[in-house]
Amino acid sequence: MKKYLSEFIGTFWLVLGGCGSAVLAATFPAVGIGLVGVSFAFGLTVLTVAYSMGHISGAHLNPAVTIGLWAGGRIDAKEILPYIIAQVLGGIAAAGILYIIVTGNGSEIGSFAANGYGEHSPGKYSMTAAIVTELVMTCMFLLIILGSTDEKAPKGFAGLAIGLALTLIHLISIPVTNTSVNPARSISQAVFVGDWAISQLWLFIAVPIAGAVIAGMLYRYLKSE
């Protein structure tokens, strides 16, 4: 249970810190942090949780990461479902807190940093562009996670590499999809937005998982004798 509670708390922090910065601070009057600030916010959430709770649960914080680690031979299949449940619940809890904050001054939640494509993409990018972006970004994210946490990798730097990787991913892909690479993050925001966010949610669940599985299998091949 400690592992799953750790995943709940870690994913809670990721959604609150990352999506919270996007909703509350990205375009705050005169001193907004912009896309660069939001990108670093997501990276910092992973960086801080990796070093504070990574020794408890591995700090997956993401169903795609959990499934990718399984595909890469790092965890047992029996761990997948409880990890994912904890992650999704943690994300929804954070979105609930964020909803209370955002509406605290009478504001509507708007898009609530939900992921989308087509008319709901920040840059109006197509579904095809969204699929390619989420697939490639998640695949690279998992390769970095698997490589930096490998027993032969330099010790103590995995959290830094993973946090900076997520920052870079957001710097590239926020204009395309608002950046998912994490089904729990996507589900948490879509639950509160409803409507179009729910109807497009399939992409931000299926595609990151596919990218993660590809990365897991690819890394196993790279490591094979």
Phi/psi for 200 (5° steps) reads -100, 0
Mean pLDDT over 21-36 rounds to 86
In order of 37, 108, 125, the CA distances from 120 in angstroms are 21, 17, 8
Among 197, 4, 185, CA closest to 88: 185
- The mean predicted confidence, pLDDT, of the chain is 95
Name every residue whose Cβ is closer than 8 Å to that of residue 68 and which is 6 or more positions away in sequence. Answer: 138, 142, 145, 146, 211, 212, 213, 215, 216
Whole-angstrom distance, CA of residue 225 vs CA of residue 118? 44
Count CA within 13 A, CB hemisphere, residue 190.
23
Q: What is the pLDDT of residues 170-197, one digit of tens each?
A: 999 999 999 999 999 999 999 999 999 9
Mean pLDDT over 38-56 rounds to 95
Picking from 28-32, 55-59, 213-217, which range would have the lowest pLDDT averaged per residue? 28-32
Domains of the chain in start order, with CATH, are 2-223 (1.20.1080.10)
Q: What is the pLDDT of residue 224?
A: 80
Q: What is the pLDDT of residue 223?
A: 86
Instruction: Judge whether residue 29 has pLDDT over 80.
Output: no
Q: What is the pLDDT of residue 32?
A: 84
What's the N-to-C CA distance of the chain in angstroms?
Answer: 36
Q: What is the pLDDT of residues 114-155, one digit of tens each?
A: 999 999 999 999 999 999 999 999 999 999 999 999 988 899
Whole-angstrom distance, CA of residue 150 vs CA of residue 9? 25
Whole-angstrom distance, CA of residue 112 vs CA of residue 193? 7
